[in-house]
Amino acid sequence: MARRVVKAAMQTLAAGSPELSGRSRPSASGFTLLELLVVLALVAIASAGIGFAMRDGTRTQLEREALRLSALFESARARSQVSGLPVRWRVTAEGFEFEGLPPSERAEDDLPQAWLDADTTARVEAAATAPAIQPDAIVLGPEPILLPQSVSLLSRSQPGQRVRLASDGVRPFAVLAERP
């Protein structure tokens, strides 16, 4: 038994332990750095999601349609130069059409005649520098140099939304940036 008493007397307590000071350790308060970083990351992700959701979908759709139409114009222009036949693009009630293209043997070679979005419509604009030979059509060949031409894509539901597509007659059709 004496041995047990000596062992108990030899044990020492670490400095600051509650047994030595006679009081309990206070609980930690506040947030850790990791918790703060997680909250900041969640706020950043949420604000980015809201920003993308608030982006103007109509303007984006019109820009997508304009880029697609530019590619279709260049395709029709190249086919016109190869065949030697003039090709005209016109707006129709259902979408648009290319007149003058030679008939194709394969259906996948035919150019589309509808907008991707039913809300889209177009208006051919007469060039200020050249008289409009066909005011309601875009002429795409067969000559390598054409008159300056442009077309505006509009939203039926939001008339203020507009994207302009133009060519100076030498370069390909390109989407022009609107200046506020």
DSSP for 117-169, please give it: STTEEEEEE--SSS--SSTTEEE--SSSS---EEEEEEESS-TT-EEEEEE-S
Q: Is residue 22 part of a domain?
A: no
Place of tokens 């889209």: 120
Q: How far apart are CA 173 and CA 138, in angstroms?
A: 11
Is 67 a member of any domain? yes
| Residue 88, helix vs strand vs coil | strand
CB 100 within 8 A of CB 86: yes
| CATH code at position 103 | 3.55.40.10
DSSP β-ladder status, 88-91 and 137-139: antiparallel
3-state secondary structure of 96: strand
**Of the candidates 69, 78, 62, the residue with the CA atom closest to the CA atom of residue 150:** 69
Q: Is 27 part of any domain?
A: no
For residue 7, which amino acid is it? K
Q: Is residue 10 part of a domain?
A: no
pLDDT tens for 60-99 read 899 999 999 999 999 999 988 888 989 999 999 889 999 9
What are the pLDDT digits (tens) for 111-142?
A: 899 999 889 999 998 665 555 456 688 998 88
Residue 58 tokens read as 């109509």
* Per-residue pLDDT, 2: 53
What was the pLDDT predicted at 44? Answer: 95
Q: Is position 108 within any domain?
A: yes
Q: What is the pLDDT of residue 103?
A: 73
- How far is it, in rounded angstroms, from Cα 28 to Cα 154? 61
DSSP at 80: H
C-alpha distances out from residue 121 to 34, 48, 82, 98, Å: 52, 31, 29, 15
Q: Half-sphere exposure of residue 111, counting CA atoms within 13 Å on the CB side?
A: 26
Q: Which domain holds residue 121?
A: 57-176
pTM of the model: 0.66
Quick one: pLDDT at residue 43? 95
Domains: count for the chain: 1
In a domain, 145, yes or no: yes
Task: Give percent above pLDDT 70 in the chain.
Answer: 73
Domain membership flag for residue 8:
no
Place of tokens 């036949």: 85
- Is residue 130 one of the residues assigned to a domain? yes
Grade residue 164 by pLDDT with cuts at 50, 70 and 90: very high
